[in-house]
Copies of this chain bind each other. A is one copy, B any other.
Amino acid sequence: MPESGKPAARSRRDPQARRRAIVRAAADLLVEGGGGDITHRRVAERAGVPLGATTYYFTSLDELREAGLQVLVDEIEEFVEHVRSASAGEPRGPEALARILHEYFSDTDQMRTDLALYGATIHRPELRPLALRWFDGMVELLSDWTDPATARLLAAFTDGITLHVMFRGEPVELDELTRAITALIRSGPGREEAK
């Protein structure tokens, strides 16, 4: 129960919440059905707002789509941040990294979000910067474990695995993952020693 005063009763005359609800709905639709499924009507229904609200808050459908995608990327970045802080105290060996990534490859929801991001941007070059934010975030995270060049290779490797795991519907084995990651990291020039 919040402070006091108007406890619930939001939604009407709460532009911010309304906008959020619309974007949330767009993001969900993006994950479920891809960018082509974003229509004013669908978003409005999903968000529980009248049709006019979607056009009132967003000048064009493109803008709405991008806002939804933005939310997805924000979520992904939060996830990356979460992983990073959760692994703060862990040893920096390849095995530990493999365990972390393996966990990620078991999180279907998370991967579905990534896939939605790829799908939405593949044919929309103007939105690719959003996907790059995810790529770069991953590279940055991996840079805690290896040198930048290897981090980039590992980031690409990660996305490839995501694609294959999701398409095949089969998980990736932890030991194989460990083997590959270990090999890739060992092959690199090594992480620069900070300080």
Show the binding face of A for B, using Cβ within 8 Å.
32-37, 115-116, 118-119, 121-123, 128, 131-132, 135, 149, 152-153, 155-164, 167-168, 176, 179-180, 182-184, 186-188
Enumerate chain B residues within 8 angstroms of A179, measured Cβ to Cβ: 187-188
A163 to B162, CA, bound (A): 12
Say yes or no: A164 contacts B152, CB within 8 Å.
yes
A183 to B180, CA, bound (A): 8
Say yes or no: A156 contacts B161, CB within 8 Å.
yes
Enumerate chain B residues within 8 angstroms of A183, measured Cβ to Cβ: 183-184, 186-187
A55 to B168, CA, bound (A): 32
- Secondary structure of the A contact surface, majority rule: helix
A160 to B136, CA, bound (A): 14
**Closest B residue by C-beta to A160:** B160
Instruction: List 18 contacting pairs A-B, 8 Å CB cutoff, sorted by A.
Output: A32-B123, A33-B123, A34-B36, A115-B122, A116-B122, A118-B118, A119-B119, A119-B122, A135-B164, A156-B157, A156-B160, A157-B157, A159-B160, A159-B163, A160-B161, A160-B163, A163-B163, A179-B188
**Closest B residue by C-beta to A36:** B36
Highest count of chain B CB atoms <10 Å: which of A132, A135, A180, A186: A180
